[in-house]
């Protein structure tokens, strides 16, 4: 039964594949085969048994609906899954069936299976992350001197550059990505502890088998089983949340810039079913939807952390759905924002026009500071108010000041001129941009 | 691509079906067919066109992966879906293709499609809800006089009855279910507003067409389109959350009673992959997992509420996944708890034994109250402390009091006797039980 | 120690007062006095004892920092609080001290104390809610014929009226308010169950005393103690969340309309510390902040629902902070949005100008429908595309169509005219507006 | 107005102090004084002006209620705060008033003020963190060979050691603490960007002044202003969440061990208001309450991340309350768990007794593995089932096997003996314990 459409923006084809039944089953089979292999190498189970298990661990024997149904009475899909392998092995070699899953517990299988899916997902995200960083850097470089309105609390403010804006996005994505991929690395560990987390069934060979199993699966070994200690996965879950938040900020900015009345930037977007003229910000929608949803998914994951004793009840059982949704949300937003930024249309003309349309009023603070130096704050305030009134009546604020018999003499000619020259009031914008992009020397 | 296994406890077969691609596509087709039908009836589109559309709206033409992929560039699956129908209709009757989806917008289609899936889900939940209420009532009736320890802050307290405990569960499920099904009813409305929520394309016929369309689909009509006003769906989302919380409380209680050291009740449970002796509380695990996850999913839904203008960006796009996960979580927990309660094993013997094992110390409060009446609080405190010390040394607390030269005379014989008779210290337990079950006269 | 500033936008003076230490202590004293009173009336404790307790229950004896500190070792402030009253009563009448808090448990006191604070808060919210509904209705009436752009996915769409927009806000606030106040009513119950929820210490008088106590406190009586069944409070918590979400939607819309480039509406707002020209949307900021925060607070409340046995550990202890923050967030947003809407500046001129600035392109859908009727969808699409190209080159879309040799003849003269007359393309906007405001006849 | 009592378990005295009005005001004053100082040093404002500002920046001039009230119309407390300082400076030196807050924006002040409070809080947490780690290590060392039941899904499982259990707690706290304190370090940066994040008012001196200001305040400098990029604070928020989750797990375990029927460990706890015999797990309650609440608070923080343009509306305004609640929740839980672990009562006797009470049934898996080696899985299963039946009838499982005519010969004498010797079935428990404590050589 396919379940893609209802939440079709929450993942990509590649990520849906990484967490699909096929991917999980492949991971679980990989675990059982590798386990038999290393146990045979360690002399714990007979070598031919490992070979038999290996031959029987093929994906096509599983009916995932039946597994899911059976899981409801056993509390985990691991039990019907292992049973199915045992049955198959028993047909080939009855004695070998005993040794399937030898010394492992259900959670070893499920956690490691999930981790192997995560490894696949991490690779997909890593590629898009590099793509996005490159596109952001390119944008930030191209528009180093593109002057635009800053906007604070959704109101116009003194200018900034689009280059700095893009560099700010770059900085946040870069930092959040570093956190994310280091969290993937920390979390992608083998789980292997047996029934009680002591590997008791393996006697004194436990640690050696665990280390060999990790190597066999290409995973790092943990210092100890982590059945009920989920902080590493939690760190991955939260890193997905933060990363998606950083992407959501980009999408919010672009969707606001793309408003018809602003029109400073636009993603290629999609078409509307009813409105042929309309370019829907579909990429931003995907990213904003992800950013809307991830905080709750993070909460869902964290809520399960206080797991009981050696293996918990309920908290653990709640995790996989939330974590895979988080990784897919992050990746879906990432793919969308990468596409958006790579093809972003930017209009420096419109940016300039929107600055002009403010009638220089965004420089009121600056005028105030310039006037206050010689006239004091109270007088400056008064003169600025007077010019603002003129502005409300339709006049350019700078012109109003220039015409003001008290204000004009208090301002130097270049000051007055600069009130109409946004590019001269950018402060450290360029240095901040270079710092964010780690361009040396700043 | 199937995606059941990773989160296999988060739904049931029936609910997965209700939110499957097949179910959603059927709902969407239902919408388009009904729309064409009522528009033809109203003379807005030609009658043969409606017939052509109706004939072409068959499920087998859709490739849901392709739809999902296309949706990423248009921001919604509605656009490739409608395009696919148009193509098909055009093959049969080129002129008719124009009238597919006439006057409707993507969100009309998607919201109504979701609502039709919700209607199906509500029916599934309703059946299990009745089953659970019946099982809870039966349990509360059977065990009206089964005395057991109350436990507060996970410590033993004066006794209660298992009947009252089950009646408390009944009360919470009953109230939460009433909220849930009334929320379903409130939320299951037609969405129909056209591009801007004015049904402008239908001229003055909008309201009439909308009302006819609602009738045709068996849905209630809304007072107005609710594209960006999601409070009704939010009320459904939160009702799922509360309902699941009430189920989680039952599961928590039963899983605690099922601990080997307590052993007062047990669900049939499932078997362990490694521990043949073990009965895993699989039903409780499912319910507790759902209760762990739903609060975050509720947050995910609510976070999208402040949707922009006439139709929002991102907030809306985040909803369907969260809402369907909430309904499925609630339903998965409900099915599990219903099974658990229906087959619940209860041990009045063990309940009695656990009371006895406390050595009457749970009556320390009662002894204090009895003693304080004649001796004052300070003296009573002292005597109770003395008996508690004896208790810590291994003696029955009531016996220690009875042997205390100062305490004994201050207590009436029947008081002393009653300190060892938990069934005589149940206060209003039975009246509360009857009130909760609405048994008249109390 | 005062803790207002850090989160100074999260409450109002009145609501902070309702949940202050003073308010909570007053509520707790009210509980103890009423309890003694009804127990004396029932002959359970001596009449003079009740009088003594009543005289000693005065607010000025409590050091709330000391209480908070002591609470950390007992797990609740109830224990040091009751102890403090006992000490004081003992000074006056040593025998009476025994009867303080007679038959009640800590949670009875704390839950009822919280409920009494909630009752106060509900009154504050109710007043503002009426104020907001009135302001919204007035706005929706005044602007019944004020035509403006609809905006979907933050892109311009065919017109709507500001009256319908405001009526949509009205509808959502009205429905959400109905849910909220009914949730307050359902939740504001006496809590009274004694140690184990059986009122055992009161023998067979429990129910009668409980009912009398509820009357004395002006609260409804519960069918049974609800120590570990928190669905009613959860329903209140979620109703706060939904209500705040509906307010957040209004704030989002207004803040978007208030952008300098849109300028269709504005709240009076506040001044900026650095930008004298700037009107900060402070009211919208308060409401949006609340809407940002409440989903998580709702999750925090719901997460505590699966409480253990007769009284839970941790889940209960987490509630009060979340619930009071939710009520205060809702109330803070409500006060802010009420102020915003009451003083909302609306510019029909600017609305018209923004429509004009689209160059009629928002009617592309309409043109398509008009053309398709006679020319078929494919041809219509082609002609609309051609006109859209002209539009992108700077021409009015309707004029381009009128000049098109193929399109013009296919359109009736009034159709062509109407493409430049947004007020003629409002469909059922007015009927929807009237339905939302419940104006009869529609 | 004090607001401690309602949520009295959510903080400690020291942490409440760190986020109190007094602490925040002190931080804000520190910012303004330091700003004036470094601007005077840089020749941007006159030296005497800085001295005047410094003299006027004293805490006693502020009425925090009035500030909070005024903040509601300006959207931030910074505006009335700066205005209050200006007024005061103007009284002393009218010309100097102009230069108060020179070049800074409200958010610079509020963010840096919050950061300075966080620095104080971090110190408090660090001390308790070391205390907890020491107590956990000591416990893990003392009980290296204390054998106890493992428990999985709340059911008994083969044995583990209390030393490994405590080492598992240590590992999770240690890892989560490392994440937390590195997040504090990363997040505790100066915020300084002026109105638009370009420090335009400081001309080309912006970066130099920013770096000097950071030094003056003892904070790290940021690469660029981070007004709308909140990932570093988000990483702190989530680290608090994970840390609290790890503490919640300890509290959950201990509260379960402290159940009367288990009685393997206990915290000193508090007394009950009604039940003199009862030791309430107050410390666990505090930690579990925090763990219940933090996931939602984390969601509340993350939800605000997609902040608009250069400084956001609403998202930013929602942060401080959530973040300070998160840090206080983490710290409150930490203080409680530290107290609990430091004074933890452990009963190896009871642990042994609880193992014995299982009648060796926890070794069923082991018996199966031993039997299967020689008899095959099917036969082994049958024999184990037979012994389990005997166990259900009251017999020790190992004895039943020993008496089984088929099973006994298949088992070696020492195997049979070991089925009653839990200490011989601990696998790698000790090596895992040493790895977690980083004891070399393992």
Q: What is the DSSP letter of A266?
A: E
Rounded Cα distance, D432 and A224, in Å: 5
Task: Let me know whether D330 and D371 are in one domain.
Answer: no
Task: Let me know whether D261 and D376 are in one domain.
Answer: no
Of D97, D157, D229, the CB nearest to A172: D229
Whether B442 maps to a domain, the answer reads: no
The complex's ipTM works out to: 0.96
Whether B273 maps to a domain, the answer reads: yes
pLDDT at B273 over 60: no
Question: HEC profile for B266-296?
Answer: ECCCEECCCCCCCEECHHHHHHHHHHHHHHH
Rounded Cα distance, D279 and A392, in Å: 71
Task: Let me know whether D78 and D205 are in one domain.
Answer: yes
Q: Which pLDDT tens digit goes with each residue over A166-201?
A: 999 999 999 999 999 999 999 999 999 999 999 999
Catalytic residue among C272, C385, C424, C428: C272
The predicted structure's pLDDT at residue C350 = 97
The predicted structure's pLDDT at residue D1 = 54
pLDDT at C56 over 90: yes
Structural contact between residues C36 and C50, judged by C-beta atoms closer than 8 angstroms? yes
CATH of the domain at A262: 1.20.200.10
H or E stretch including B152?
A: strand B147-152
Of A285, A297, A315, the CB nearest to B296: A297
Whether C441 maps to a domain, the answer reads: no
Rounded Cα distance, C101 and A250, in Å: 58
The predicted structure's pLDDT at residue B272 = 58
Q: Which pLDDT tens digit goes with each residue over A48-100?
A: 999 999 999 988 878 888 999 999 999 999 999 999 999 999 999 988 998 99
Structural contact between residues B273 and B323, judged by C-beta atoms closer than 8 angstroms? no
Of D19, D105, D274, the CB nearest to C273: D105
Q: How many Cβ atoms from other residues are within 10 Å of residue A394's Cβ?
A: 7
The predicted structure's pLDDT at residue B200 = 95
Cα end-to-end span (Å), chain B: 56
CATH of the domain at B397: 1.10.40.30
Structural contact between residues C51 and C23, judged by C-beta atoms closer than 8 angstroms? no
Last residue of a domain, one of C305, C324, C351: C351
The predicted structure's pLDDT at residue B387 = 92
User: What is the number of CB-based contacts under 8 A between chain B and chain C?
Assistant: 331
Task: Let me know whether A394 and A322 are in one domain.
Answer: no
* CB proximity A137 to D under 8 Å: no
- The region of weakest confidence among B88-102, B146-160, B426-440, D56-70 is D56-70
Distances (CA, A) of C436 to B157, B309, C433: 54, 17, 5
| Section D167-193 average pLDDT | 98
Rounded Cα distance, D338 and B40, in Å: 73
Task: Let me know whether B98 and B173 are in one domain.
Answer: yes
Rounded Cα distance, D52 and D57, in Å: 9
CA of A304 vs chain C CAs: smallest distance (Å): 10
Last residue of a domain, one of D351, D382, D397: D351
Burial of B409 (0-12, 13-18, 19+ CB in 10 A): exposed
Q: Which pLDDT tens digit goes with each residue over B312-363?
A: 999 999 999 999 999 999 999 999 999 999 999 999 999 999 999 999 999 9
Q: What's the domain count of chain A?
A: 2
Locate D35 and state its tokens. Answer: 């700003």
- Rounded-to-10 torsion of CA C254, C257, C263, C264: -80
Whether A210 maps to a domain, the answer reads: yes
E strands in D185-311: 265-266, 270-271, 279-280
CA of D9 vs chain C CAs: smallest distance (Å): 6
- Looking at the DSSP assignment, which residues form a beta bridge with residue D155? D152
Of C114, C271, C317, the CB nearest to D286: C317
* Percent with pLDDT over 70 in chain C: 97
Distances (CA, A) of A214 to A105, A204, B346, D335: 16, 17, 44, 37
Q: In 3D, which of C326, C297, A303 has the Cα closest to residue D241?
A: A303
Is beta strand A270-271 parallel, antiparallel or unpaired with respect to D155-161?
Answer: unpaired
Q: Positive or negative, the Cα torsion across C128, C130, C133, C135? A: negative
Structural contact between residues C330 and C240, judged by C-beta atoms closer than 8 angstroms? yes
The pLDDT-based confidence of A273 (bands split at 50, 70, 90) is low
Locate C379 and state its tokens. Answer: 């041809």
Model pTM? 0.97
> Where would I find the H helices in B270-412?
282-303, 319-342, 348-357, 364-375, 377-392, 397-402, 407-410
Task: Let me know whether D13 and D47 are in one domain.
Answer: yes
Task: Let me know whether C186 and C113 are in one domain.
Answer: yes
Task: Let me know whether C283 and C387 are in one domain.
Answer: no
Q: In 3D, which of D166, B275, D164 has the Cα closest to residue A224?
A: D164
The predicted structure's pLDDT at residue C276 = 63
Query: Which chain B positions have a beta carbon within 8 Å of C199's beta carbon?
Result: 427-428
A311 is catalytic: yes
H or E stretch including D298?
A: helix D282-303
Backbone angles phi and psi of D94, in degrees to 5: -55, -40
- Report the mean per-residue pLDDT for chain A: 94
CA of B370 vs chain A CAs: smallest distance (Å): 40
Q: In 3D, which of B197, A265, B312 has the Cα closest to residue C256?
A: B312
Q: Which pLDDT tens digit goes with each residue over C302-350?
A: 999 999 999 999 999 999 999 999 999 999 999 999 999 999 999 999 9
pLDDT at B270 over 90: no
pLDDT at B75 over 60: yes
- The region of weakest confidence among B179-188, B379-388, C208-217 is B379-388
Structural contact between residues A401 and A420, judged by C-beta atoms closer than 8 angstroms? no
Q: Is C104 helix (H, G, I), strand (E, B) or coil?
A: coil
Locate C52 and state its tokens. Answer: 């003594």
E strands in A122-195: 147-152, 155-161
Whether D125 maps to a domain, the answer reads: yes
Cβ within 8 Å of residue A428, ≥6 positions away: D198, D199, D200, D202, D204, D206, D207, D210
Largest Cα–Cα distance in chain B?
104
List, as one string, the DSSP characters of B179-215.
HHHHHHHHH-B----TTTTS-GGGGGGHHHHHHHHHH
Distances (CA, A) of A324 to A117, A179, A242, A248, A329: 9, 18, 15, 19, 8
Task: Let me know whether A267 and A360 are in one domain.
Answer: no
The predicted structure's pLDDT at residue B402 = 93
Task: Let me know whether D323 and D356 are in one domain.
Answer: no
> Chains contacting A with at least 3 CB pairs below 8 Å?
B, C, D
E strands in A128-252: 147-152, 155-161
pLDDT at B275 over 90: no
The predicted structure's pLDDT at residue D275 = 57
CA of B250 vs chain A CAs: smallest distance (Å): 13
- Chain C interface, best mutation among D72, D244, D302, by max C CB count within 10 A: D72
Residue whose pair of structure tokens reads 């660029």 in the numeric block? D224
* Rg for chain B, CA atoms, rounded: 30
C279 is catalytic: no
Q: Positive or negative, the Cα torsion across C85, C87, C90, C91? A: negative
Structural contact between residues B53 and B91, judged by C-beta atoms closer than 8 angstroms? no
Whether A441 maps to a domain, the answer reads: no
Whether B441 maps to a domain, the answer reads: no
Listed by number, the residues of chain A in 58-77 with a beta carbon closer than 8 Å to a beta carbon of chain B are 64-65, 67-69, 71-77
Distances (CA, A) of D256 to B305, C271, C362, D356, D358: 39, 55, 64, 19, 18
- The region of weakest confidence among B64-68, B381-385, B414-418, D339-343 is B414-418
Last residue of a domain, one of C351, C383, C413: C351
Task: Let me know whether C138 and C194 are in one domain.
Answer: yes
pLDDT at A275 over 70: no
Cβ within 8 Å of residue A389, ≥6 positions away: none
| Section C154-181 average pLDDT | 98
Burial of C67 (0-12, 13-18, 19+ CB in 10 A): buried
Structural contact between residues A329 and A371, judged by C-beta atoms closer than 8 angstroms? no
Task: Let me know whether C342 and C360 are in one domain.
Answer: no
The predicted structure's pLDDT at residue D352 = 97
> Does the distance separating the beta carbons of B366 and C305 come in below 8 Å?
no
* Percent with pLDDT over 70 in chain B: 97
Q: What is the DSSP letter of A268?
A: -
Whether D358 maps to a domain, the answer reads: yes
Domain boundaries, position A333: 5-351
> Does the distance separating the beta carbons of B248 and C309 come in below 8 Å?
no
pLDDT at C274 over 70: no
């Amino acid at each position: 039964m396919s379940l893609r459409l209802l939440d079709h923006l929450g993942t990509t084809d590649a990520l849906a594949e990484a967490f699909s039944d096929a991917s999980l089953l492949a991971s679980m089979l990989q675990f059982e085969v590798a386990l038999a292999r290393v146990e045979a190498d360690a002399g714990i189970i007979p070598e031919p048994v490992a070979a038999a298990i290996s031959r029987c661990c093929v994906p096509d024997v599983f009916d995932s609906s039946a597994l899911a149904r059976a899981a409801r009475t056993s509390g985990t899909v691991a039990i019907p899954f292992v049973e199915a392998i045992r049955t198959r092995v028993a047909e080939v070699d009855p004695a070998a069936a005993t040794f399937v899953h030898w010394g492992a517990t259900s959670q070893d299988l499920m956690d490691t299976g999930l981790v192997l899916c995560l490894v696949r997902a991490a690779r997909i995200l890593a590629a898009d992350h590099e793509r996005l960083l490159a596109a952001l850097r390119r944008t930030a470089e191209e528009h180093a001197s593109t002057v635009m309105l800053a906007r604070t609390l959704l109101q116009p403010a003194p200018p900034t550059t689009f280059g700095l804006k893009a560099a700010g996005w770059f900085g946040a994505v870069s930092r959040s990505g570093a956190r994310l991929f280091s969290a993937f690395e920390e979390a992608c560990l083998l789980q292997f502890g047996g029934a009680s987390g002591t590997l008791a069934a393996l006697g004194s060979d436990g640690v050696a088998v665990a280390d060999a199993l990790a190597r066999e699966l290409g995973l790092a070994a943990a210092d100890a089983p982590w059945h009920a200690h989920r902080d590493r996965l939690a760190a991955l879950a939260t890193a997905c949340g933060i990363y998606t938040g950083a992407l959501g900020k980009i999408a919010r900015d672009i969707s606001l810039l793309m408003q018809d009345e602003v029109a400073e930037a636009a993603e290629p977007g999609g078409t509307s079913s009813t409105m042929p003229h309309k370019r829907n910000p579909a990429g931003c929608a995907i990213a904003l939807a992800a950013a809307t949803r991830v905080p709750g998914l993070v909460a869902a994951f964290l809520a399960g952390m206080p797991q009981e004793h050696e293996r918990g009840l309920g908290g653990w059982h709640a995790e996989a759905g939330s974590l895979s949704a988080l990784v897919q949300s992050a990746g879906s937003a990432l793919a969308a924002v990468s596409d958006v930024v790579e093809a972003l249309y930017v209009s420096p003309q419109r940016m300039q026009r929107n600055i002009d349309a403010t009638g220089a009023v965004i420089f009121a603070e600056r005028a105030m500071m310039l006037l206050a130096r010689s006239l004091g704050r109270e007088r400056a305030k008064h003169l600025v108010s007077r010019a603002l009134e003129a502005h409300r009546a339709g006049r350019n604020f700078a012109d109003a000041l220039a015409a003001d018999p008290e204000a004009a003499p208090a301002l130097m000619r270049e000051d007055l001129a600069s009130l109409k020259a946004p590019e001269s009031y950018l402060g450290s914008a360029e240095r901040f941009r270079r710092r964010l992009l780690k361009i040396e020397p700043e």
